[in-house]
């Protein structure tokens, strides 16, 4: 039988990104860009909706130049037509940006949908008889039987059996995963995965159409996407700015008439479009969708854009030590005998205490004891296993002769021994301190009222984790390590890993308490979890990342699910969230800075007769040329920035003030300079070819 593997440590590249099939993506995006011209869809973006209305008005004026009164000038129809075409392309480019970002999610959804198909399920009746039914008819609470080669028909929990399951259709990871009953972590199975050995009996936990893959399809396809609070706030701000400029433009004809510089309706519309923040207005949705897509490329499914955005504002990371900060499975390194016992005696007792312990730690104790010659000289079928619990903090075996053998936390074993008339010795404290000071986990072993010694479980801090925590610290993110280890061991691991704080001998209740304490101080908290006992804390955290190998309760409580079940991904997700906020801020700064240059391009030549020509620092040749140059730049900058909106601004672990200064320098100054250069170049080209 295969041994369950630690997914996060087996992969050579645990942060590999899933590939999305881009075939046909551009064609679909172009098609969807036209579909989004529907006013019911367009009105969701107030800025671009106003541009779309302006396009229709200039189209009408192109057909009838005298629609709003008699006009003078040469090539009026040509100028109006060019303005109409440029405005239409501006709207189309903005729609294309959003459609392309959505298209990547739809491509991933198609890949997921290909794994979901109707299958024949073997439904078990209460009397044990088997009936073949369609998987779509299975309801929550039904029981099914699956054997090697079968597709698991729906999400469920293993109630009997042990088998290897291929989850590559969901995770992309080829290594099979062991599933068995009675395990808080390994009993959860997902519909659409394939059993490749042995057999299982599964209790269905999801109603038809509401399974894990169904939810993933809906999420990555964007069907349930709603704007995040920050996105809504920015949309409102852009709408207010647009309204302000609209009022300015409405009052401009009276001013122009007064100074004897009449302005035509197409020029007024062009001026409005040039001044409102169309660049960020056209890219805002694409930035948010791309943020969720970047998370999905890390094989993490986010339930909403709000969850991804919250990652960018996270102040505190609550991390379990095992599997996140350390490599995961602690291994028995050494037996330390005390109270005049020999190493063979403690090996023998440790073996007996671990025969019912199926955890990696328990199996490593058995292997070490057997290497030292320990044997089982009693009938284990008449013995009783005692499972570990967070409350007792120990496990063991009750032998047929009535002896009670226990192994566990030193404090718990001391209490166990005293309750049976025994006592502890200074030797125990010495061994405890020795193991703890090396960053190991000491487990005491006792038979009834006598302690035989200490098991040294070795824990290894993951390479490079200290540097990653240092990056988080530079971003202002505080890290808190939770561990069931004693305080000495926890302090050694915490110091070696470089976390800011730690809580030793932590219980599930401690996780919720830590999160609530941080939130009470106005902080946003992120954490990972996989067990049912983690579900309340995952629900309490602002960002909860559940492991795909975790229980159904944990996955439902979290707002993200990591398909690779790699707890360290939380650190990457925080980086993606911050990159999303940085990208949105950078492009907003660039867009508003653009407006300054476009203002200096149009206003001075528009009112040249009022001695504003001195402000025409670009020396543009005419009003029509200035308007067309500014509009062309305004349209072309949107597709030019689509790659940056989708990929995101390069993330650097800096605090907020440093990032703000950097954005103002690069995107603020760049947003002012770039339009001056491009608009002047376009003006020269337009003048040469005689379009204005």
Confidence band, pLDDT 50/70/90 cuts, at residue 638: very high
What are 458-475's pLDDT values in tens digits?
A: 877 888 888 888 888 887
Residue 534, pLDDT > 50, answer yes
Confidence band, pLDDT 50/70/90 cuts, at residue 621: confident
The Cα–Cα gap between 365 and 353 comes to 9
CA 579 to chain centre: 12
Kindly report the backbone phi and psi dihedral angles of residue 73, in degrees, each rounded to the nearest multiple of 5, phi listed first. 125, 165
Task: Give residues with Cβ within 8 angstroms of 290, minimum separation 6.
Answer: 101, 104, 645, 646, 647, 648
Query: Is 10 annotated as a binding-site member?
Result: no
Would you give the DSSP letter of residue 462?
P
The Cα–Cα gap between 321 and 328 comes to 8
Has 501 been annotated as catalytic? no
Catalytic residue among 155, 214, 320, 564: 320
For residues 444 and 337, the answer to whether their CB atoms sit within 8 Å is no
The Cα–Cα gap between 476 and 467 comes to 14
Query: Is 60 annotated as a binding-site member?
Result: no
Query: Is 403 annotated as a binding-site member?
Result: no
Q: Write down the pLDDT at residue 48.
A: 92
Count of H helices and E strands in the chain?
24, 22
Confidence band, pLDDT 50/70/90 cuts, at residue 86: very high
CA 63 to chain centre: 50
Would you give the DSSP letter of residue 447?
E
Strand, coil or helix: 131: strand
Residue 430 Rama label (left phi>0; alpha psi -120 to 50; beta): alpha
Would you give the DSSP letter of residue 137?
G
- Bridge-based pairing of strands 478-482 and 316-320 is parallel
Task: Give residues with Cβ within 8 angstroms of 278, minimum separation 6.
Answer: 47, 48, 51, 90, 94, 591, 634, 638
Query: Is 361 annotated as a binding-site member?
Result: yes
Instruction: Identify the helix (H) or strand (E) that includes residue 10.
Output: helix 7-10
Q: Write down the pLDDT at residue 510.
A: 82
The Cα–Cα gap between 402 and 84 comes to 92
Query: Is 381 annotated as a binding-site member?
Result: no
The Cα–Cα gap between 533 and 510 comes to 11
| Token digits of residue 104 | 């990547």
Any idea which fold 300-327+461-563 has?
A: Rossmann fold (3.40.50)
Q: Is there a common fold for 120-214 and 331-458?
A: no
Query: Is 530 annotated as a binding-site member?
Result: yes
Residue 14, pLDDT > 50, answer no
Query: Is 367 annotated as a binding-site member?
Result: no
Query: Is 391 annotated as a binding-site member?
Result: yes
Query: Is 394 annotated as a binding-site member?
Result: yes
Mean pLDDT for the chain? 82
74-79 long-range contacts, CB within 8 A, separation 24+: 76/264, 78/691, 79/266, 79/624, 79/628, 79/692
For residues 63 and 80, the answer to whether their CB atoms sit within 8 Å is no
**Range of weakest confidence among 322-326, 344-348, 607-611:** 607-611
Bridge partner residues of 332 (DSSP) = 457
Domain residue spans of the chain:
7-109+220-297+575-689, 120-214, 300-327+461-563, 331-458
Which of residues 566 and 649 earns the better pLDDT score? 649
For residues 278 and 269, the answer to whether their CB atoms sit within 8 Å is no
Query: Is 379 annotated as a binding-site member?
Result: no
Residue 267, pLDDT > 70, answer yes
Share of the chain above pLDDT 70, in %: 88
For residues 29 and 103, the answer to whether their CB atoms sit within 8 Å is yes
Query: Is 179 annotated as a binding-site member?
Result: no
Bridge partner residues of 320 (DSSP) = 482
Walk across the sheet containing 130-134 and list its strands.
Answer: 130-134, 120-124, 143-147, 199-204, 156-160, 188-189
CATH of 331-458 among 3.30.70.100, 3.40.1110.10, 3.40.50.300, 3.40.1710.10: 3.40.1110.10
What are 104-129's pLDDT values in tens digits?
A: 767 766 666 665 666 788 888 888 88
- Bridge-based pairing of strands 120-124 and 143-147 is antiparallel
Any idea which fold 120-214 has?
A: 2.70.150
The Cα–Cα gap between 35 and 305 comes to 23
Q: The tokens 């125990």 sit on which residue?
A: 428
Distances (CA, A) of 291 to 12, 513, 647: 26, 31, 9
Q: Write down the pLDDT at residue 446.
A: 94
């Amino acid at each position: 039988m295969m041994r369950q593997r630690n997914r996060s440590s087996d992969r050579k590249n645990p942060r590999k990104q899933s590939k999305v099939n881009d075939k046909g993506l551009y064609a679909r995006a172009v098609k969807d860009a036209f579909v989004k011209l529907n006013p019911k869809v367009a009105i969701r973006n107030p800025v671009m909706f106003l541009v779309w209305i302006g396009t229709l008005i200039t189209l009408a004026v192109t057909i009838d130049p005298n629609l709003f009164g008699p006009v003078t000038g040469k090539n009026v129809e040509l100028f109006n037509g060019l303005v109409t075409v440029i405005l239409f392309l501006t709207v189309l480019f903005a729609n294309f940006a959003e459609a392309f970002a959505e298209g990547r999610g739809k491509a991933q959804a198609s890949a997921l949908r290909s794994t979901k198909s109707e299958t024949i399920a073997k439904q078990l009746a209460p009397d044990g008889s088997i009936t073949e039914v369609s998987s779509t008819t299975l309801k929550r609470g039904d029981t099914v039987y699956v054997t090697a080669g079968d597709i698991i028909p729906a999400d469920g929990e293993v109630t009997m059996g042990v088998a290897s399951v291929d989850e590559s259709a969901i995770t992309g990871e080829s290594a099979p995963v062991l599933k068995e009953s009675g395990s808080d972590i390994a009993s959860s199975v997902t519909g659409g995965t394939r059993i490749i050995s042995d057999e299982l009996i599964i209790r269905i936990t999801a109603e038809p159409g509401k399974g894990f893959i169904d939810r993933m399809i809906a999420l990555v396809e964007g069907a349930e996407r709603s704007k995040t609070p920050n996105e809504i706030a920015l949309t409102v701000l852009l709408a207010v700015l647009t309204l302000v400029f609209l009022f300015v433009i409405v009052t401009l004809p009276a001013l122009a008439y007064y100074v004897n510089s009449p302005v035509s309706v197409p020029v007024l519309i062009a001026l409005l479009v040039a001044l409102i923040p169309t660049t960020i207005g056209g890219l805002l949705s694409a930035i948010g969708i791309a943020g969720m897509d970047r998370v999905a490329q890390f094989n993490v499914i986010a339930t909403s854009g709000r969850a991804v955005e919250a990652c960018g504002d996270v102040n505190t990371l609550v991390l379990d030590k095992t599997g996140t900060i350390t490599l995961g499975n602690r291994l028995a390194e050494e037996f330390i005998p005390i109270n005049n016992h020999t190493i063979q005696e403690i090996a023998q007792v440790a073996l007996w205490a671990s025969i019912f312990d199926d955890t990696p730690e328990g199996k490593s104790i058995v292997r070490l004891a057997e290497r030292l010659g320990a044997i089982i000289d009693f009938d284990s079928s008449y013995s009783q296993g005692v499972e570990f619990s967070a409350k007792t903090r120990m496990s063991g075996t009750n032998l047929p002769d009535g002896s009670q053998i226990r192994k566990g936390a030193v404090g718990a074993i001391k209490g166990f021994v005293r309750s049976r008339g025994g006592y502890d010795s200074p030797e125990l404290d010495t061994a405890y301190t020795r193991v703890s000071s090396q960053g190991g986990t000491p487990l005491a072993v006792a038979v009834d009222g006598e302690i035989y010694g200490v098991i040294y479980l070795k824990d290894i801090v993951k390479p490079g984790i200290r540097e990653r925590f240092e990056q988080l610290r530079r971003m202002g993110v505080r890290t808190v390590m939770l561990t069931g280890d004693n305080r000495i061991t926890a302090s050694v691991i915490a110091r070696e890993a470089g976390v800011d704080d730690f809580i030793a001998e932590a219980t599930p209740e401690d996780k919720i308490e830590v999160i609530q304490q941080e939130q009470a101080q106005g902080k946003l908290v992120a954490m990972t979890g996989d067990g049912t006992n983690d579900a309340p804390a995952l629900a309490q955290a602002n960002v909860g990342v559940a492991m795909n190998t975790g229980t159904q309760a944990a996955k439902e409580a979290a707002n993200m699910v990591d398909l690779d079940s790699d707890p360290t991904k939380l650190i990457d997700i925080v980086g993606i969230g911050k990159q999303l906020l940085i990208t949105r801020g950078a492009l907003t700064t660039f867009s508003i800075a653009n407006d300054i240059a476009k203002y200096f391009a149009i206003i001075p030549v528009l009112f040249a007769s009022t001695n504003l020509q001195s402000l025409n620092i670009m020396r543009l040749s005419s009003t029509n040329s200035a308007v067309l140059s500014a509009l062309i730049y305004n349209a072309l900058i949107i597709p030019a920035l689509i790659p940056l909106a989708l990929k995101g601004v390069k993330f650097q672990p800096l605090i907020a003030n440093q990032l703000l200064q950097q954005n103002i320098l690069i995107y603020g100054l760049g947003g002012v300079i770039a339009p001056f250069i491009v608009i002047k170049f376009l003006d020269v080209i337009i003048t040469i070819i005689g379009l204005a």
